[in-house]
Amino acid sequence: MWCLFFLSNVASVCVHADKADDDLEMTMVCHRPEGLDQLEAQTNFSKRELQVLYRGFKNECPSGVVNEETFKQIYSQFFPHGDASTYAHYLFNAFDTGHSGSIKFEDFVTALSILLRGTVTEKLQWTFNLYDINRDGYINKEEMTDIVRAIYDMMGKYTYPVLKHDAPKQHVDAFFQKMDKNRDGVVTLDEFILSCQEDENIMRSLQLFENVI
Amino acid sequence: MATGVAAWLPFARAAAIGWMPVANCPMPIAPRDNSKRQDELIILNVSGRRFQTWRTTLDRYPDTLLGSSEKDFFYNEETKEYFFDRDPDAFRSILNFYRTGKLHYPRHECISAYDEELTFFGIIPEIIGDCCYEEYKDRKRENLERLQDDQEENKDMKLPNMNFRETMWRAFENPHTSTMALVFYYVTGFFIAISVITNVVETVPCGSTANQKDMPCGERYTVAFFCMDTACVMIFTVEYLLRLFAAPSRYRFMRSVMSIIDVVAILPYYIGLVMTNNEDVSGAFVTLRVFRVFRIFKFSRHSQGLRILGYTLKSCASELGFLLFSLTMAIIIFATVMFYAEKGSSSSKFTSIPASFWYTIVTMTTLGYGDMVPKTIAGKIFGSICSLSGVLVIALPVPVIVSNFSRIYHQNQRADKRRAQKKARLARIRIAKSGSANAFLQSKRNGLINELLELTGTEEDEQKLIKSTSLLESQHHHLLHCLEKTTAHEFVDEQMYEQNCLETVLQSYPSRSPSISSHDSSMGTCCGHRVKKNIPLPNASVPPAHPVPVHQGPLQELSAIHIQCSDPSSHTASRSTLNLKADDSRINCKGGRITTAIISLPTPPALTPDGDGLHGPPQRRPPPPSGHPTPPSIQTTTSSACTSIVKVSAL
C-alpha cells in the first residue's frame, strides 16, 4: 500500500513539472519574418531601409511580435499630454490585417510601405480602413465620432482654446458635410477618395511624410 | 519621450496620415533630415577592449558623454576610434544602457567605482531599472553610513559658537562629549540604582528588637530611609529641571516619554510631603509609592537595549494584542467547560466561571499550582485537554512573536524606504513626462522666436537663440504639431490653461474691433497660420533679455505675435500665431483677409486694465506696417487681469 502512495506522489510531481514546462513554452513564442528578399519584393523599401526598420522593431520587441498592450504603451510615449490608448487601439486593428491579435514585422512593414511609399489611392484606402472600425465598407457617423474623439483624447486636458465637449461632434459634422456626397449618412470608399482628391490640403498633407525613413 | 522607443518614431509619424482627412487646416512642414548619413559603426576602445555599435544607438541619449559631441575629445585620429581609459567591465553595463534603454547594476561591482563610471559617462543613476534599483540603493546607503561613521569621529569637537544652553543639551544627550557630562551621567546612574535598592530594601523585614515583632526596615529606620529618598529625589529634580532648561524645544521635551517617566518617578515624594498624615488619604499615599518603581525606567537613558525593546514592543503591539485575544478566547471556553463539568461535584472550588479563569490560566501555562483541581471524571478529561492545548496555544505564538519582532522591525525600515523611493520615483516620472510635454511647448516658442529673428536679427542673435534640437526631437515636435492642426487646438501648459479659463469668465463684453468679413465661423477657432511678415518690427530687435516681469513664465519677451481673426460670436480672444506675409499662398483663413495683429505682452499685476486704455509700455506699439494696403488702426479689447492685448486691426 505504501508503494501506491509513493507512486501517486511521483505522478503528481511529474504532472506538475509538465505544466510548468507548458507555461514556460507559452512565453517563448518567437516569430521570424520571411527573408529579406521577399520583403523587398513585397514592399516599396530597399534592403537597407528594411534592415534599419527591423533592427528598431526587434529592439523593442525581441520576440518578434507586438501585442496590443505593448503597442499602446509605445504609442502613448509619443503623446504624453493626453490618453493615446483609444487611438492606438484603432491603429492596432488597422495594422493587424490578419486579425491575429499581434503585429508581426511583415504587417508592420507592409503598412509602413503603403503609408510612406504608396500611391495616393493606396494611402486613402488605408485611411478608410482605419476609420471603418467594423470593416463593413461604410463609415457612419458613430465610427467617425469614435475616431475623432480618440484623436481629441490625445490632446489631453490643457489645450488652447479650451476643448468643448461637443468639439468632436462638430468636427464630425464638418467632415460628413465634406465627404458624404449623396447625403445618405454613410461615406463609402469612392466618396471618400473623391472628396479627398478634391481637397488641396489633404492632398498636400498626404505627401508630408515621404522622407521619414 | 523615452528615447528607447525612438525607433518607432517613423511608424508613429507614418500613422499620422490617418489624421489627414479629418483635419481642416493645413499641416506644418516636416523637418528635413539634412544629415543624411548612412548609419555607421563606431568603435569604442575602452582600455584595449573594443566595443562596436551603431552611431544611432549612441545618439539616443544626447545628454550623455557618448551621445553628445563630448566624445570627440576622446577621438583618436590615427586609429579612427574613440579611446577611453576606463574600466572595460563597468563599461559593459553602460553600453547596454544605450542598447536596451535599461541601466543595470552588476552586483559584483563596487558601488563607488560604479558611481564614478556613471558620473564620467554622464548618466544619472536614477534611471537604473527596477530590477537592480533596490540593490543599488542599499549598497549606496551602506556606503554612506560607513562614510558618516568615519566623519562622526571628528564631529564631537566643540563648536565655538554654541551657547551655554546648547552645550548643556549636547552634554545631556552624548555623555562622551566632556568630562562633566560623563560625571553627570555616572552620578545619575548611581543615584537611580541607590533609589531602586532603597525601595527594595525598605520592605525587607529587619531583625526584630526585643519588644517589637518583625517589621520592615523602612519602618525601623524611617529617618535614614527618608534622608536617602530625599537625596535621590533632589538629584532627580535638579536633573529634570536642567534638562528642561537645556532642551531646544521645551514643549516637545515635556511631551517625550522619558520626561514623563521622570515626573512620575519624583511626584510621589512631593505629594507625600504635601499631604498630611490623614487616615483616609494615607492609604492612597501608600499606593502612590508604587510609582517609585518607575525610577528603574530611567535606566533606559543609559541603556540602548532597553530603548530598542520598547520600540519593538510598540511596533509589535498588534501581534501581541492578537495573541492576548486568542488566549482570552481559549480561557473563556475552557473556564466555561470546566465550570459546568464541575458543577455537580460537591465542595468544588469552581464556584463561578470567573473563578475558573484562574484554574484555566494556571493549567494552560503548565504552572499547575494545585489550589484548584477538578474532581469529576468529565472535569479531569477536560482539564487534561485544557493543559494539552495550553502548551500549543502558549508555546506556538512565542517564536512567531519573536520572529515577528525582527521581521516587523526590518520590514518597517524597508517599507519606509520604499515609500520614500516611490514618491521620488513618481515625482521623477512626472517630471520626465511634463518635461517632454514642456519641451514641445518650449520648442514652439523657440520656433517663433527663431522665425522672428530670421527676419530681423543678425546672425549672432540667431545663433544664440537657436538651441540645437536633435533631429529626433524636431520630428517628434512636428508630429505633435500635426496633431494640433488636426484638432485645431493647441497644447498649452497648466498655467495658461487656468488663465484662459479665467479669461473666458472675465471677458463678458465683446471686443470693439469690427469683425472681419465673411469669416467662416464653423471652425470655431481659426487655425494657426504661419505667414512671414516682411517689414522689420522694432520689437524684434529688442534683445531677448528684456526685463519683462515674468509673471507668467511662458510668454516672455515677445514670444508671440498674435493675429486675431476676430469673431464677435466667439467671446474668447482666440490667439493664433500668425506672421503676415502678403504673397504667401498659404493664407487660408477662409473668407476674410487677415489684416489684424495682436501684440500680447504680460503686464505686471499692478497694471490693472482700465476700461479702454492701451496697456503695456507705449513704446512697444509697432508702427503701422508700411507695405500694407490699408493703414491699420490700433484698437484695444478688454483683457483679463493678467495679459494685455493690443489689437491692431484694419478697417
Considering only CB atoms, A160 lies closest to which of B8, B490, B522, namely: B490
pLDDT at residue number B640: 38
Q: Is B11 on the interface with A (CB under 8 A)?
A: yes
Number of domains comprising chain A = 1
In contact, B557 and B542? CB cutoff 8 Å: yes
> Which chain A residues have a beta carbon less than 8 Å from that of B572?
161
> What distance in Å separates residue A170's CA from the closest CA in chain B?
8
Record: contact B491-A158, CB cut-off 8 A: yes
Name the pLDDT band for B193 (thresholds 50, 70, 90). very high
pLDDT at residue number B618: 40
In A, minimum Cα distance to B501 occurs at: A162
Q: Is B34 on the interface with A (CB under 8 A)?
A: no
- Residues B42-69 have pLDDT tens digits of 999 999 999 999 888 888 888 888 888 8
Task: Give the predicted TM-score (pTM) of the model.
Answer: 0.44
pLDDT at residue number B152: 53
In contact, B338 and B383? CB cutoff 8 Å: yes
Q: Is B289 on the interface with A (CB under 8 A)?
A: no
* CATH value at residue A203: 1.10.238.10
> Which chain B residues have a beta carbon less than 8 Å from that of A165?
none
Residues 6+ away with beta carbon under 8 Å from B65: B71, B120, B121, B122
pLDDT at residue number A3: 54
> Which chain B residues have a beta carbon less than 8 Å from that of A123?
17
Name the pLDDT band for B525 (thresholds 50, 70, 90). very low
DSSP B37: P
In contact, B319 and B401? CB cutoff 8 Å: yes
Q: What average pLDDT does the segment A15-23 reach?
A: 48
**A102 φ, ψ (degrees, to nearest 5):** -150, 150
* Residue A133 domain flag: yes
Record: contact B26-A205, CB cut-off 8 A: yes
Q: Is the pLDDT of residue B90 over 50?
A: yes
pLDDT at residue number B537: 41
> How, if at all, do strands B81-84 and B75-76 pair?
antiparallel
In A, minimum Cα distance to B439 occurs at: A80
SS3 category, B76: strand
Record: contact B17-A127, CB cut-off 8 A: yes
C-alpha span between A7 and B426 (Å, rounded):
53
Q: Which of residues 496-525 of B touch A (CB under 8 A)?
A: 496-497, 500-501, 504, 522-525
- Residues B17-36 have pLDDT tens digits of 888 888 877 788 877 766 65
Considering only CB atoms, B17 lies closest to which of A152, A163, A209, namely: A209
* Residue A8 domain flag: no
Q: Is the pLDDT of residue B381 over 90?
A: yes
Q: What average pLDDT does the segment A62-66 reach?
A: 80
* Residue A158 domain flag: yes
pLDDT at residue number B568: 39
pLDDT at residue number B529: 44
> Which chain A residues have a beta carbon less than 8 Å from that of B39?
52
C-alpha span between B93 and B118 (Å, rounded):
10
Q: Is the pLDDT of residue B513 over 90?
A: no
- Residues B280-301 have pLDDT tens digits of 666 676 777 788 888 888 888 8
Give the containing element (helix H, strand E) for B253.
helix B250-255
Question: Which of A131, A205, A210, A211 to mutate to test binding with chain B, by most B CBs within 10 Å of its CB?
Answer: A205
pLDDT at residue number B630: 42
* Residue A66 domain flag: no
> What distance in Å separates residue A18's CA from the closest CA in chain B?
29
CA distances from A200 to A195, A206, B482, B488 (A): 10, 10, 16, 18
Record: contact B17-A154, CB cut-off 8 A: no
Higher-confidence residue of B516 and B486: namely B486
Q: What percent of chain B has pLDDT over 70?
A: 64
> What distance in Å separates residue A37's CA from the closest CA in chain B?
21
pLDDT at residue number A8: 53
> What distance in Å separates residue A135's CA from the closest CA in chain B?
16
pLDDT at residue number B383: 93
C-alpha span between B348 and B607 (Å, rounded):
96
Q: Rounded mean pLDDT of chain B?
A: 72
> Which chain B residues have a beta carbon less than 8 Å from that of A154?
483
C-alpha span between B78 and B81 (Å, rounded):
8
pLDDT at residue number B92: 92
Considering only CB atoms, B20 lies closest to which of A59, A77, A202, namely: A202
> What distance in Å separates residue B496's CA from the closest CA in chain A?
8
Record: contact A156-B491, CB cut-off 8 A: yes
> Which of A16-25, B135-144, B169-178 is predicted with the least confidence, judged by mean pLDDT?
A16-25
> What distance in Å separates residue A41's CA from the closest CA in chain B?
20
- Residues B249-280 have pLDDT tens digits of 889 888 988 889 888 888 888 887 777 666 66
In contact, B90 and B117? CB cutoff 8 Å: yes
Name the pLDDT band for B468 (thresholds 50, 70, 90). low
DSSP B7: G
Higher-confidence residue of B650 and B87: namely B87
The cell numbers describing B313, all together, are: 514592543
Q: Is the pLDDT of residue B643 over 50?
A: no
Higher-confidence residue of A209 and B542: namely A209
Q: Is B66 on the interface with A (CB under 8 A)?
A: no
Mean pLDDT: which of B440-449, B535-544, B592-601 is highest? B440-449
Q: Is B8 on the interface with A (CB under 8 A)?
A: yes
CA distances from B309 to A137, B256, B304 (A): 76, 17, 9
C-alpha span between B432 and B410 (Å, rounded):
32
Higher-confidence residue of B434 and B645: namely B434
Higher-confidence residue of B201 and B3: namely B201
Burial class (CB in 10 A: 0-12, 13-18, 19+), B153: exposed
Considering only CB atoms, B22 lies closest to which of A94, A151, A206, namely: A151
Q: Is B260 on the interface with A (CB under 8 A)?
A: no
In contact, B76 and B83? CB cutoff 8 Å: yes
pLDDT at residue number A82: 87
Beta bridge partners of B580: none
Distance spanning both ends of chain B, measured CA to CA:
46
Burial class (CB in 10 A: 0-12, 13-18, 19+), A8: exposed
The cell numbers describing B201, all together, are: 530594601
Range of the domain at A173: 120-212
Q: Is the pLDDT of residue B535 over 70?
A: no
Q: What average pLDDT does the segment B367-386 reach?
A: 92
- Residues B606-633 have pLDDT tens digits of 434 343 433 334 444 444 444 444 443 4
Q: Is the pLDDT of residue B443 over 80?
A: no
* ipTM (interface pTM): 0.74
Mean pLDDT: which of B43-52, B148-157, B395-404 is highest? B43-52
> How, if at all, do strands B41-46 and B49-54 pair?
antiparallel
In contact, B357 and B335? CB cutoff 8 Å: yes
Record: contact B10-A53, CB cut-off 8 A: yes
Name the pLDDT band for A4 (thresholds 50, 70, 90). low
* Residue A61 domain flag: no
Higher-confidence residue of B530 and B415: namely B415
Record: contact A170-B2, CB cut-off 8 A: no
- Residues A66-91 have pLDDT tens digits of 888 888 888 888 888 888 899 999 99
* Residue A174 domain flag: yes
- Residues A185-195 have pLDDT tens digits of 888 888 888 88
DSSP B457: -
pLDDT at residue number B248: 86
pLDDT at residue number B645: 39
* Residue A153 domain flag: yes
